[in-house]
Amino acid sequence: MSDIKDVNPAEDGARGLSRRQFMGGIGALGALGVIGGAVAQVFLLPDEVIAYPVSGGFLLVDQKKCSGCSTCMAACAIAHHGAANHSLSRIQITQNPFKAFPYDIDPVQCWQCDECVQACPTGAMHVDPETGVRTVDQLRCIGCLRCVAACPRAVSAVQWSEEGHASQKCDLCLDTPYMDDEGGIDGRRACESVCPMRAIKFTTDLPEQTEDGYSPNLRTENWASFGYVADIEG
Amino acid sequence: MKKGVLPVLGLTLALGLGSLWAVQATRSEGGGLLFDSAWWLVFLAPFLGVLAAGLTRRQDPRIEGDRVLRHDGAARLEHWAHGLGTALLLATGVGLGFLFVPRLVRDTDGVWLMMNLHFVGVVVFLFGTFYYAANTIVSAYRFKEHLPTGNAFSFTVQHYGKLLGIKKFTMPPEDKYFESEKMAYILAILASVGVILSGIVKVLAHLMDLPAWLVSAATPVHGVSTIAMLLFFVAHVFFSSVLPMSWPVLRSMFTGYVPREYAEKEHAGWYQRLSASESTTTGKEA
């Protein structure tokens, strides 16, 4: 059985450099270039050091004050999505009746740390340059969920949005298309405004950090007005 | 073992090992996305395809006794690399969700596994596609024989009507590829180009700071191209594997050969050309 080869002279180099040789050359050069670039990136370039500025504001939630009414979740979903759908809320209230007070209700608000920003491979999760708030550019999000996994909270403060096909998180109401008032550091936060227990408070001071993040004491005059014992001294 | 099945076996092995790598990377400490850690393979695969084309000596179709060589080793390798890569990309792409398709995997481990398997699919797909493209540039006539003629549309309607039993029509002598296949080829090229260009933007987003409008444009383009690819893939599998009349060609995608009788009956135009070329060669040799 004889092999019948292509007989086009341009392919076999009857007139100088053949197409086949040209392709081989392009392929070999390109492959060497890519491998060289990858090696250079690993061995020659120094590790990049990135420092993120501290957020301009934080949400404090007093676990002992929270009654688990989920009003904040409804307000958050309405402010950001125009729908009172708890699945769309960026603040999560989880409840476990088998746990003892105050751990039976766990309000999960974003701590504005930078774990999610560090984990994002595309820069979609970023620090807002003006306010320092950690937020998502949903157009850039590729949906890898690394931010969700990186969140230090047991229930992630970053969620996957089925609506936006991208991650979403608390932006301190920087971007609230369904809220009349201005949000953000100098504006109004929907969850803080509606909390009937006044268990959510906004601060521009960096909260005292503990192993468990921060759990502030908001049981002051407002708390007393409900007839509960205030814990002004903490 | 027959030599003809080597390309298919090699690709199956590559996909198997790649899938194991994807699983291992997903389970590793802290988890990892291969698009992040092994991005360079995405850019290496096309050049390896071009290099392979430069090193490949193709064999032209020919009549050998009672059979006809239809797909040489290179044709089988590029077909299965493109096809198996596409199948893996479509399966994982649907799992990850796009455009109007909701995400099927919910937890992070599931998403990373899908993304890592998608990565393996990308590498195999790009190798196969660029191997084909470079082979086609080397031998331009292989591209031309895929292009539809002026009658392609009416012939396609008649051809599928006949296949489905709703039309009676005597087709003119078909060439190596049916006119209907040539129409589908255009769709496959457009979908591949759309998927590759938008996919490259999505991979580059892991490496550099791209403008948001570019990344946001790439996502829907990737989705639309995927839908086109999905349509082509389903139709291609149905007409080339499910319908009994296509089984000889499917077999040739493993062995390289179709029965002479089949070529004579279904691809009369092509068979006549091969016969004429054979007699010319024999005449010259004599």
Query: Identity (one letter) of the amino acid at A206?
Result: L
The predicted model scores a pTM of 0.81
For residues A139-149, give the mean pLDDT. 88
Q: Which helix (H) or strand (E) holds B69?
A: strand B67-69
CA distance B39 to B36: 6
Measured between its terminal Cα atoms, the distance across chain B in Å is 36
A213 in B contact zone (CB under 8 Å): no
The set of residues, in sequence order, having a beta carbon less than 8 Å from that of B168 and lying 6+ positions away, is B162
**What does each C-alpha distance from B283 to B194, B229, B272, B275, B277 come to in angstroms?**
47, 46, 16, 12, 10
CA distance B103 to A137: 20
Q: What pLDDT shows up at residue B31?
A: 62
Q: Which residues in chain A are contacts of B216 at CB distance < 8 A?
A: 139-140
Length of chain B: 286
| Strand A92-95 with A105-108, pairing | antiparallel
Predicted ipTM > 0.90: no
For residues B36-40, give the mean pLDDT. 88
DSSP-assigned states of every residue in A140-209: T-----HHHHH-SSSS-SEEEETTTTEEEE--TTSS-TT-SS--STTS--HHHHH-TT--EEEESSPPPP
B102 in A contact zone (CB under 8 Å): yes
Q: Read off the tokens for A92.
A: 């999560």
Q: What pLDDT shows up at residue B30?
A: 60
Contact A169, A156 (CB under 8 A): no
Contact criterion met (CB < 8 Å) for B31 and A149 = yes
A21 in B contact zone (CB under 8 Å): yes
Q: Is the pLDDT of residue A128 over 80?
A: yes
Query: Identity (one letter) of the amino acid at A202?
Result: F
For A86-119, write each residue's pLDDT tens digit: 999 999 999 999 999 888 999 999 999 999 999 9
For B257-285, write each residue's pLDDT tens digit: 999 999 998 888 889 988 887 766 655 54
The set of residues, in sequence order, having a beta carbon less than 8 Å from that of B28 and lying 6+ positions away, is none
For residues B184-195, give the mean pLDDT. 91
CA distance A154 to A120: 19
For residues A129-140, give the mean pLDDT. 92
Q: Is the pLDDT of residue B50 over 60?
A: yes
Contact A27, B49 (CB under 8 A): yes
For residues A43-59, give the mean pLDDT. 84
Q: Is the pLDDT of residue A62 over 70?
A: yes
Of B59, B138, B206, the CB nearest to A122: B206
Reference B124, options B88, B97, B90; nearest CA is B88
A3 in B contact zone (CB under 8 Å): yes
Those of residues 142-201 in B touching chain A at CB distance below 8 A are none
Q: How confident is the model at residue B164 (pLDDT cuts 50, 70, 90)?
A: confident
Number of helices (H), then strands (E), in chain A: 7, 8
Reference B76, options B255, B276, B248; nearest CA is B255
Tell me what percent of the residues of chain B surpass a pLDDT of 70.
95
Contact A91, A191 (CB under 8 A): yes
CA distance A80 to A88: 8
For residues A186-204, give the mean pLDDT. 94
Q: How confident is the model at residue B34 (pLDDT cuts 50, 70, 90)?
A: very high
CA B252 to chain centre: 15
Q: Read off the tokens for B144.
A: 């031309």
Q: How far is A72 from chain B (nearest CA, A)?
A: 25
For residues B213-238, give the mean pLDDT. 90
- Mutate one of A127, A145, A151, A159 to test the B interface: name it (highest B CB count within 10 A): A145
Q: Is B111 left (phi over 0), alpha (psi -120 to 50) or beta?
A: alpha
Q: How many CB atoms lie within 10 A of CB A206?
A: 12
Contact criterion met (CB < 8 Å) for A28 and B139 = no
Of A31, A143, A149, the CB nearest to B47: A31
**What does each C-alpha distance from B108 to A120, A170, B24, B114, B132 come to in angstroms?**
13, 20, 15, 10, 36
CA distance B259 to B273: 16
Q: Is the pLDDT of residue B226 over 90?
A: yes
Tell me what percent of the residues of chain A surpass a pLDDT of 90.
58
Query: Identity (one letter) of the amino acid at B275?
Result: S
CA distance B268 to B262: 9
Alpha helices in chain B (DSSP H): 6-27, 34-37, 39-55, 73-96, 108-138, 140-144, 152-163, 179-204, 212-237, 247-255, 260-266, 268-285
A160 in B contact zone (CB under 8 Å): yes
Nearest CA in chain A to B99: A165
- Reduced to 3 states, what is the DSSP secondary structure of residue B169? coil
Those of residues 106-135 in A touching chain B at CB distance below 8 A are 121-123
Q: How confident is the model at residue A8 (pLDDT cuts 50, 70, 90)?
A: low
The alpha-carbon radius of gyration of chain B (Å, integer) is 21
Longest dimension (CA), chain A: 100
Reference B45, options B132, B116, B106; nearest CA is B132
* Chain mean pLDDT for chain B: 87
Of B102, B108, B115, the CB nearest to A162: B102
Q: What pLDDT shows up at residue A188?
A: 95
